[in-house]
Amino acid sequence: MRFLSELAPRRRWPLVAMAVLLVLLAVSSAAAAVRPAPTSADPFLAAQAAALLPAHSGDLERAGEWDRYTIVASLSPAALAVRGTLSVTLTNRSAVTYERLYFRLYPNHPDYGGRLDVSAARVAGRPVASGTEHGDTLLWLALPWPLPPGGTTQAELSFTARTPRNASAQSFGAFNDEAGLWSLAGFYPVLARQFADTGWDRRPIESRGDFAVTNVGLYDVSIDLPASWTLVSTGTRLENVPGRGGMRRERLVSGPQREFYLGVVRGLEQASSVVDGTRIISHYQPANAAAGRRALRVAEQALRAFNARYGPYPLAELELVQGALTRFLGMEYPGVVLIERRLYAENDRVLETTVAHEIAHQWWYSLVGNDAQGEPWIDEGLASYAQVLYYEALGDPRRAGEELDYFRRLYGQLREAGRDVPLATPPGELRGIYVQVAYAKAALFFQALRGQIGDAAFERFLQGFLAAGKYRETAGPDLLRAAETACSCELDRLYAEWVLSAAPVPIP
């Protein structure tokens, strides 16, 4: 995510009382059994291949590592509501026995300005106790018997999500209906992340930085929507079936993804192209057609550059959408990038760098995960430094240098104000300095790393970090390990000075 202004604090609202939660849950008698390895006879898994480029279909051999989501939902435009059911097959991937399941309800965070209510949950009809934590943003369901490590179960939840309208100036613009985009980020209950050693991640959601911190899953999603609307989503369409009353049903599959984005557009135009097998679609307002086509060209250049620099993008589709984010310049989701509408009207260099930054997040956040609520410097630093790499790939060292100069100014101002902190500082402690640390200082760390180990080793680092972290959750020590492997050298001092402390390092 790229912030529009660090000086605009997020507004909070009192919580609306949650609707009465009726929860029924049952776990099959095979709850403790480990799910068998998927085969070509597995229809859920076979359908997922459509979301991946053919050269990457082998990624699905790792399907045993990922939970499976099936969503059937209907859009109600007049009510600004999505009503649906979620079925998720999940495995205890931790070393502890579970007494409960935990789901994130992101729209109930005050910053979203909307609601996500669960009205029922069941598996084979067994009732269980339930409740919420952290202001209705974390739903727990008590299991009827413990789920040991490696055990598998299935839960079904009925839910309703409601968004605000024209609220991007006050709330999170990616959960909002405005300017031709009804954006429904986080519209469904999603499993909380699992830590391998301690189990569920139950922390409250921090406003500063990106909200979602989730494990990779596979999604099969069917959406009923008005026939005149255009669906924008993670993944690839499998079916598009006309229905009654001017409705239609689209079925989509995701491939391995950290979350599933859903939105619909009305009155927007689009242009598309193909780069290295991936179809890129740019959605834009008719009045901003030139900028919409330019955003497509930038996405083409960025995808081509990052495919070569990091490693190939595995998905069959990638969409860019002009939207009303207002307080943000851009927002990334798996296979979807949202760009603030004002940048299209201005159609200057900020549009170009923002598109390149958000495209880079398809590697750093989407393919390689990290704790955006704890270590946002990893993905934001890599995506910010990608702005430098993007201009280098275009053969424009002057603009690459200008990007570095911008980061130097921001970080220099931070130090002059006496507010420098370690990169590993959690976002909750970065009030007023989030951009300066997670973006500028982090980008300069990668410039310093590159200067110390050299260009060839730095490229090996980027590719090695992707290979080791693909579809996994990484942390600072994993990044350090990848860098030391790439250079066959010891980098403890560099890492300690930038990441673990606020030492007065030279600004590279």
Angle at 204 between CA 201 and CA 205, to 5 degrees: 100
DSSP classification of residue 205: P
Instruction: Look at residue 16 and tell me if it is in a domain.
Output: no
User: Of 265, 300, 335, which marks where a domain is finished?
Assistant: 265
User: Of 265, 284, 310, which marks where a domain is finished?
Assistant: 265
Whole-number Å distance between alpha carbons of 372 and 269? 33
Instruction: Look at residue 360 and tell me if it is in a domain.
Output: yes
Residue 301 and residue 315 in one domain: yes
Residue 368, strand partner residues: 364
User: Of 367, 395, 416, which marks where a domain is finished?
Assistant: 367
Q: Which domain holds residue 28?
A: 23-265
Residue 214 and residue 173 in one domain: yes
> What are the Cα distances from residue 345, in Å, to 226, 253, 264, 295, 342?
29, 34, 21, 12, 5
Residue 195 and residue 310 in one domain: no
Angle at 308 between CA 302 and CA 311, to 5 degrees: 105
Instruction: Look at residue 10 and tell me if it is in a domain.
Output: no
Instruction: Look at residue 110 and tell me if it is in a domain.
Output: yes
Domain count, the chain: 3
What pLDDT tens digit does each residue of the chain (508 aa) get? 543 433 233 333 332 333 323 333 333 333 333 333 445 589 999 999 999 999 999 999 999 999 999 999 999 988 999 999 999 999 999 999 999 999 999 999 999 999 999 999 986 678 878 899 999 999 999 998 899 999 999 999 999 999 999 999 999 999 999 999 999 999 999 999 999 999 999 999 988 778 999 999 999 999 999 999 999 999 999 999 998 888 999 999 999 999 999 999 999 999 999 999 999 999 999 999 999 999 999 999 999 999 999 999 999 999 999 999 999 999 999 999 999 999 999 999 999 999 999 999 999 999 999 999 999 999 999 999 999 999 999 999 999 999 999 999 999 999 999 999 999 999 999 999 999 999 999 999 999 999 999 999 999 999 999 999 999 999 999 999 999 999 999 999 999 999 999 999 999 9
Six token digits for residue 472? 């996994």
Whole-number Å distance between alpha carbons of 379 and 358? 11
Residue 247 and residue 292 in one domain: no
Residue 123 and residue 207 in one domain: yes
Residue 281 and residue 209 in one domain: no
Instruction: Look at residue 14 and tell me if it is in a domain.
Output: no
Residue 345 and residue 427 in one domain: no
Q: Count the Cβ atoms, other than its own, within 10 Å of residue 207.
A: 17
Instruction: Look at residue 7 and tell me if it is in a domain.
Output: no
Six token digits for residue 250? 């689209």
Residue 88 and residue 134 in one domain: yes
Whole-number Å distance between alpha carbons of 384 and 389? 9
Residue 63 and residue 192 in one domain: yes
CATH of the domain at 384: 1.10.390.10
CATH of the domain at 242: 2.60.40.1730
Instruction: Look at residue 160 and tell me if it is in a domain.
Output: yes
Whole-number Å distance between alpha carbons of 62 and 141? 28
Residue 430 and residue 407 in one domain: yes
Strand order across the 138-147 sheet: 130-133, 138-147, 98-104, 190-191
Residue 389 and residue 423 in one domain: yes
Query: Which uninterrupted H or E stretch holds 425?
Result: none
Instruction: Look at residue 17 and tell me if it is in a domain.
Output: no
8 A C-beta contact, residue 116 and residue 19 = no
Amino acid sitting at position 273: S
8 A C-beta contact, residue 86 and residue 80 = no
Residue 274 and residue 258 in one domain: no
Distance of CA 417 to the CA centre of its chain: 32
